[in-house]
Amino acid sequence: MHIKSAEFVMSNSDVAKCPKGLLPEYAFIGRSNVGKSSLINMLTSRKSLAKTSGRPGKTQLINHFLINKNWHLVDLPGYGYARVSKNAKKTFQKFITQYFNLREQLINAFILVDIRHTPQPIDLEFMQWLGENGIPFSIIFTKADKLKPNAILRHVEDYKKVLLETWEEVPNYFITSSSNEAGKDDVLRYIDELNNNMELDTI
């Protein structure tokens, strides 16, 4: 897939106010500071479509972007370790949960995981919640440029072992780097395949 257009549509914390219509959408979410904004900018070939920040927790709303006029990329707030108040975290938790439970247009969630770290309970718990609620998801390992090839393979295998303790099979996953665009084509090809398996709504 070649992304020809990427347009900001809206930001809000009310799922009921998300875009109407039947366009398929793909949500990107992960622990704070996992490199989500950089990944979104890399995938769309835009330098600042998603706002990047050195301060974790910068994304605090549901952000919709219209891609190629026929699907939505959704940038969701990060979870865990964000430097925001407890009340703000509760608010995030509420509308993130509502988004996944109520958004019928959602085709797949991409859970971003920093490949440099051992499996984190907060990520595993979130994946478990998605599984229990029947929400399709894939894992995107980020920051692969920070490790050597053998270390990447070792870390992925470690992650797969932990996942197989509770899952019958390992969820679909991608290895990416926003710095050198590794994995970009794989992720976009996957989205394209999912889109091609359904009838796209037209604007």
The full set of domain ranges for the chain reads 6-196
- The span from the CA of 203 to the CA of 180, in Å, is 34
pLDDT score for 54: 46
In terms of Cβ atoms closer than 10 Å to its own Cβ (0-12, 13-18, 19+), residue 72 is buried
Q: Which residue has the tokens 């989205």?
A: 191
For the cut 80, the answer to whether the pLDDT of residue 88 exceeds it is no
Superfamily of the domain at 6-196: P-loop containing nucleotide triphosphate hydrolases (3.40.50.300)
Strands (E), the chain: 6-12, 25-30, 62-67, 71-75, 106-114, 137-142, 173-175
Chain centroid offset of residue 22 CA: 20
Residues 28-74: pLDDT tens digits? Answer: 999 888 999 999 999 999 988 887 544 444 457 899 999 999 999 99
Name the DSSP letter for residue 166. Answer: T
pTM: predicted TM-score of the whole model, two decimal places: 0.90
Planar angle of CA 170, 172, 176, nearest 5 degrees: 120
